[in-house]
Amino acid sequence: MGLQLTRDEEDSFRVFYGLEHDRQVRRAALLLGSEVVAHDVVHDAMVEVLRRWSSLEQPGGYLHRAVLNGCRDAARRVEVTNRSLHRLAPVGSAAGEPDVLDDVLAELPFNHRAAVVLRYYLAMPTSEIAAVLGCAPGSVGVWIDRALKRMKEALT
């Protein structure tokens, strides 16, 4: 059963995809530690957006949440199967610090890691992070503080 899209609708989705896909994959990769899984999550989220393309008034916001939820589910599946997170290949200098940060990030619970990424990669304020994650703003601060403390300990 196919989805009937007009040529204009398909064209507009192509534009939307071009604007959003790249950064969503990068964000998902930071959340998941795996480029492969990140592509899968964003792919599925894009499919859901396309499925609702004719009715979504704010597809960007919908995609944002769909990717985050998809990352959460993916992280859960990884946890359930007791697989360790794939770490991204080191970039830039050969210094050891990035690896240590990767280790700490990979060990954080999903919501904690998401809070860190949303704060320090997307520069979102606490209230927005709490809204996106569906948690109390106070929790966001606690999670981030705990993560920073771990990183400092790991670096010293």
Partner 1 sequence: VTDIETLLTDHLRQRADAVVVHDDLDSVLAELVTPHRHSDRRPRRGAVSWAAAAVVVVGIGAVAVLVGRMDGAEPPAASVPTTDMATVAPTTVPVRSLQPSSVTVFPVLNNVGETYASFAVPNHAPRSRMVIGSQIDDDWRDTYLVAALNDPAGDAPPGGELVDVDGVQVTRSDYGGMTLWFWAIGDVGIQVVTAPNSDPPPVTAISARKVSETDPPEITVGKLPAGQVVLAGPSGGTDAPYPTVATNDRRISVEVRDDEPENVLLPGDYEAVDINGDPGRVSTRLAAGGTIVAWTHQGHTVVLHTETTEPDVAVDLARRVDFVDRATWDATYEQATTDQPTPSTAPATSTVTVAAPAPTPVQLLRDMSQVPEGSADAAACEVLTDEAQRVAVAADPYGGSGYEWWTAPTRGGGRADLVTQLAADGQSANGGSGGAGCAPAPNQDIEWNGGGGNGPPRPAVQHGGHVNVRAASVVITFPGQEPVQVPINADGYFLTVLPEDPSGPYSHPERIDALDNAGNIVATVHL
Among 11, 25, 67, 86, binds partner 1 (CB under 8 A): 25
- Indicate the angle between helix axes 110-120 and 137-155, nearest 10 degrees: 90
Q: Is residue 127 a contact residue for partner 1 (CB under 8 A)?
A: yes
- The helix (H) or strand (E) run that includes residue 50 is helix 35-51
Among 12, 17, 86, 103, binds partner 1 (CB under 8 A): 17
- Touching partner 1, residues 28-87 (CB under 8 A): 29-30, 35, 38-40, 43-44, 46-47, 50-52, 55-58, 61-62, 65, 69, 73-77, 79, 82, 84
How far is Cα 62 from Cα 60, in angstroms, rounded to an integer? 5
Q: Is residue 15 a contact residue for partner 1 (CB under 8 A)?
A: no
Neighbours of 105 (CB within 10 A): 21
Q: Is residue 96 a contact residue for partner 1 (CB under 8 A)?
A: no
CA 144, 105, 37, 90 torsion: positive or negative?
A: positive
Q: Is residue 135 a contact residue for partner 1 (CB under 8 A)?
A: yes
Q: State the number of binding residues for partner 1 (CB under 8 A).
A: 78
